[in-house]
Amino acid sequence: MQTLELEGGALKQEYARFNYRIYELATPMQPGERRQLRFETLLEERGFPNDNPLTRIVENGTFLNNYEIAPTIGMDRDGLLQDRAKRRKHGLPPELRPAKLEDEAANEFHYLRRDSDWVTAELTLTTDIDQTPIAPGYTVSDTVRDGRRTLVTRTDAPIMHFFSIQSARYAQKKDTWRDRDGKTVELAVYYHPEHEHNVQHMLDAMKRSLEIFSERFSPFQFHQLRILEFPAYESFAQSFANTVPYSERIGFIQNYDEQRSDEMIDLVTYVTAHEVAHQWWAHQIIGAYKQGMTLLSETLAQYSALLVMEALYGPEQIRKFLKGELDGHLRSRGGEILEELPLVRVENQPYIHYQKGSLAMYWLKEVVGEEVVNRALHRLLEQFAFKPAPYPSSTDFLRLLREEAGPEHDQLIADLFERITLYDVRASDARARRLPDGRYEVAFKVHGRKLYADGQGRETEVPLDELFDVGAFAVEPGKKGYTREAVLLMQRQPIKSGEQVVTLVVDKPPRFVGVDPYNKRIDRNSDDNLTPVTMETE
């Protein structure tokens, strides 16, 4: 911080080591009163360091967010001591954990920043003459003077006080999308000129995502949406208001067409859909700063992305996405050092809010129907979008979901969101025979088990009697040649604890059968749900 000036305030105390200053106002601020805060900060690298070089401001491909260059007001939990050893040394609980779900006072603040509600913004950004400056909002002016290029932008809808600014020697590709009411949204991808390969693919994914989300959740709030490539110092994409910085490492330097195979995921579309979904889930509603907060952003973004993938590739390909999520979830929960929490209480744990979130939301919509889930989400947006405190929590979503789904789905909602529920189903010993009418009857063994786990992984077996997908296939799902035509039969039937025989009748010779063949459930072993079929000869 170079300078800071607060209208009507004077510096009272400075803690230089922590970059913390306390100012005193001569007269107290009144409700609704406005004051100006002026500051000047400097972010620079002097010479070059041994390690951790500054990679945010670079010669070509700068990507900063306002946290990195502007002060925050007051005291934020993120400013508290995080290091476990140091916390212990000072007699503090070793973990700094968020407020409990039951803490209603925590709804006063959202989890992105404590000192700000939704804002409007006007930003002025100056950069090198041969670079394109980008900030959220619409261009008010874009001028060149004395060898510098200056952009002024203004927002047209409320945004989170958390925005990105970027500058690089970009090429750009534009497109437009129109919503049902005829509103036009300008789309663009800004990219390094040699990295054009996936750009049209991204624009297509943006259009499909906007179409699905605006029709099923609520209208898109902006008139523009841009993806901006940044260098591979980091490998993530992140959604800010109408602006999505996207690492070259995960979206621009791969040739997915060359790698495309029956097992590959269309990662460009998947990531793009997830980030576009954050324009709703984080940029229309934002969770209160307590347990469950990221369910309302990451889990709902995953759900939204799965809707896009399903629309593009068909429900019979959804296993590609779900199996990856399930395997990742199972691996990570084994490595949990603190406490595995039910989804409704997730404490920013990625294996829960992303991976378990995808599985829980997908199975939820399979059972209660997508329209029911989307209606609950639409009502959640109606109640909380762009509103100041109290901010919504994961329990607000469950309340609306229960209202829409009805009491018959209460147990399902509890199992998916409020408990740690695991299944262990497997298929084996499949034998098929040809029937006199030319069709095929296939019978196979299914073993079923249902478990509840506590936060430390201790499991208790409970009786299982639930509907599961069972299916028969001409080609093993996920393997070469597996298409919609390879699905001979998919139906839902009750599976109970222990061993049972499932019998299916199909028109063509079945090669594989399975229970939960697409891995929609949180099953402790994703690999034993499918089994090959032995054909009995007459």
Binding residues for Zn ion, per CB under 5 A? 298, 301
| CB 324 to Zn ion: min, Å | 16
Q: Which is nearer to Zn ion, 301 or 401 (CB)?
A: 301
Residues 6+ apart with CB under 8 A from 87: 81, 93, 94, 95, 96
Q: Which is nearer to Zn ion, 301 or 322 (CB)?
A: 301
Q: Which is nearer to Zn ion, 276 or 430 (CB)?
A: 276
Q: Which is nearer to Zn ion, 298 or 404 (CB)?
A: 298
Q: Is 106 helix (H, G, I), strand (E, B) or coil?
A: helix
Instruction: Decide if 523 contacts 423 (C-beta within 8 A).
Output: yes
Nearest to 268 by CA among 285, 254, 251: 251
Instruction: Decide if 124 contacts 140 (C-beta within 8 A).
Output: no
| CB 353 to Zn ion: min, Å | 9
Q: Which is nearer to Zn ion, 282 or 464 (CB)?
A: 282
For 356, phi then psi, to 5°, come to -65, -35
Residues 34, 135, 196: CA angle, nearest 5 degrees: 170
Upper half-sphere CA count for residue 9 (Cβ side, 13 Å): 19
| CB 347 to Zn ion: min, Å | 16
Report the 10 Å Cβ neighbour count for 109. 22
Residues 6+ apart with CB under 8 A from 383: 392, 396, 400
Q: Which is nearer to Zn ion, 63 or 518 (CB)?
A: 63
| CB 185 to Zn ion: min, Å | 21
Cα 248 to Cα 198, 235, 261, 279, 449: the distances in Å are: 10, 8, 22, 21, 44
Cα 247 to Cα 127, 237, 239, 320, 527: the distances in Å are: 21, 6, 12, 23, 32
- d(CA 364, CA 371) in angstroms, rounded, equals 11
| CB 209 to Zn ion: min, Å | 13
| CB 406 to Zn ion: min, Å | 30
- d(CA 71, CA 40) in angstroms, rounded, equals 10
Q: Which is nearer to Zn ion, 237 or 506 (CB)?
A: 237
| CB 246 to Zn ion: min, Å | 12
| CB 326 to Zn ion: min, Å | 19
Q: Which is nearer to Zn ion, 288 or 422 (CB)?
A: 288
Instruction: Decide if 521 contacts 423 (C-beta within 8 A).
Output: yes
428 forms beta bridges with: 445
Q: Which is nearer to Zn ion, 188 or 282 (CB)?
A: 282
| CB 282 to Zn ion: min, Å | 8
